[in-house]
Amino acid sequence: MHKNLILGTTIAGAIIAYALKPKKPKTELEAKGVPIPTTPTYLPLQIDGVLHYILSVLAGRDELEFLRAISTEMGNTINLRGFNQDFIIVLDPSSIQHILAKNQPNYEKGPEFQAIFHEFLGSGIFNADGEAWKTQRQLARPHFQTSEFRDAALINRHVDQLIKVIDNHISKSPDAPLDVQELFCRFTLDEASEFLFGETVNALELGNTEFSTAFNYAQSITAWRFRVPLWRYVVPTKQFLREIKKLDTFVYKIIDNAIARQEKRVMEQEQQPGDGKHEMKEGYDTLLDHFLSQRSEHGFDREYLRHMLLNFLLAGRDTTASLLSWTTWKLTQYPDVLAKLKQEIAEVIGPDTVPGYDDIKKLKYQKQVINEVLRLCPPVPFNMRQSVEEDLLPNGYYIPPGTPVSYSAYTTHRLPELWGEDALEFNPDRWGPERVGSIKPFMFVPFHAGPRICLGQNLAYTTAQVTLTRLLQRYDIQAKPGFEPQQVGDIVLFSRNGVEVLIRKKSISKF
């Protein structure tokens, strides 16, 4: 994206904002509240602050550490004001609890958030508010509650394919590094698409498919829409819409096939009356089948189903890939943790036993490791809401109506006043019985919290634990000498340059 275009757009946005911003007298609640500290700027309409942020992102600066540095200087409630518009960040657990739980109806995704995601996600659960969100969540919840991945069969099928890809890499290039981030994105795309659609994308086998490439492009453009003022006129649209059309072609074909199967099944049941129940292959129903079973009652059309499926795919695919990628990296940096984890797997699961759902629940230390990765590398590092009406936070700070209010799990998870002087250190023992009691509600929000807490968090834990167990049973992993991942805080926390590791097969005797 050209820097002069960014500069011109920013200045134009500042002029428009200044001209249109209404001046209002203080309300009674505002008079009672405390003004939120605002980041210092030196030019009218905070143009210098806005430009500094955008150009630093374009230059590859770490946005998340940028925010953490500001919070260290200014405290845990900050107003990143620009163009005379408030953009509030809250980091303390009491404020996060207020926004996500205690006064949750007052903090919606909001019209601007929905406009940014509209072409990509439509009115699906990730992008919905109010009754639309409630209905979708109520309909989806039973499927996530009952699909405990019995015997983790679906996950293990895709791990089998993952192992084939890794073995092929080792046989062809045994000393070459492997980008596990790219590999885990393909793996979780296959797993999530089968879980949701009943049909896998086959990204592990085929590489970067048209669907996966379009999906990645749509996410990238959507992330820039959040960053750039007047994004409707600056961020590319034509190519974006072409990629969205590719997603639609793929998803609508799956929906139409599923509808045809359902209609055929209903016809067969009418001809041979029974109890009305049916079984999918291996006794497993997909989320799509779950929604289709309620289509006549709720009037779902093809577009509604498309929105739902892509929303859950975004939520489930990249977040789990991020978790697996950062877990792998952390284990290469902490060989003592890796050795302890391998020992637990050897004692609890065995050297080559394929773990089931009940097996991985016995891996207590592994769960501690994953929680510590989620603390330092939360898959969704930053989340945004918008106030409906004016409000006061528990700490007395005033929130105007219609104002973006965000929280950053990445920064909150690193606050020394919450996590101790070793807050920046990777230490799975903080989740052990001696320390876990000090972790209070809303200190740890990798899956959000309150009514909108992630429906798929159990799926994420299960996938990560099954996959990690089987990979450590089979392989030795080491860091690539001189490699350092460059985290980027887009919609999901990934590394800009991948996560490259050295991976080799191990002998059973070494386990």
124 HSE (CA, 13 A, CB side): 22
**Helix ranges (DSSP H) in 377-510:** 409-412, 416-419, 457-474
Q: Looking up tokens 């991945």, which residue turns up?
A: 149
Strand pairing of 107-108 and 391-392?
A: unpaired
- Output the furthest CA–CA distance in the chain (Å, rounded): 77
Query: For residue 257, what is the enclosing H or E element?
Result: helix 238-271
Say if CB 154 and CB 191 are below 8 A apart.
Answer: yes
CA 153 distance to own-chain centroid:
24
What secondary structure letter does DSSP report for 22? -
Single-letter amino acid code for the residue at 230: L
Nearest to 379 by CA among 308, 457, 458: 457
Calculate the CA dihedral of residues 418, 419, 423, 425 and round it to 10 degrees: -170
Q: Looking up tokens 């302890």, which residue turns up?
A: 340
149 HSE (CA, 13 A, CB side): 30
Which tokens go with 16? 């428009």
> What is residue 47's three-state secondary structure?
helix
Give the chain's length: 511
Which tokens go with 279? 């079984």
Which phi and psi angles does 471 have, rounded to 5°? Answer: -70, -40
Which tokens go with 412? 């909150």
Helix orientation angle between 210-227 and 302-333, rounded to the nearest 10 degrees: 80
454 annotated to bind ligand = yes
**Buried/exposed 177-202: b ≥16 CB within 10 Å, e otherwise:** bbbbbbbbbbbbbbbbbbbbbbebbb
What secondary structure letter does DSSP report for 26? P
Which tokens go with 113? 């958030």
Nearest to 222 by CA among 116, 114, 381, 109: 116
Say if CB 506 and CB 476 are below 8 A apart.
Answer: yes
Nearest to 373 by CA among 472, 476, 487: 487
Which tokens go with 22? 């209404």
Binding-site residues for heme: 454
| Binding site residue list | 454
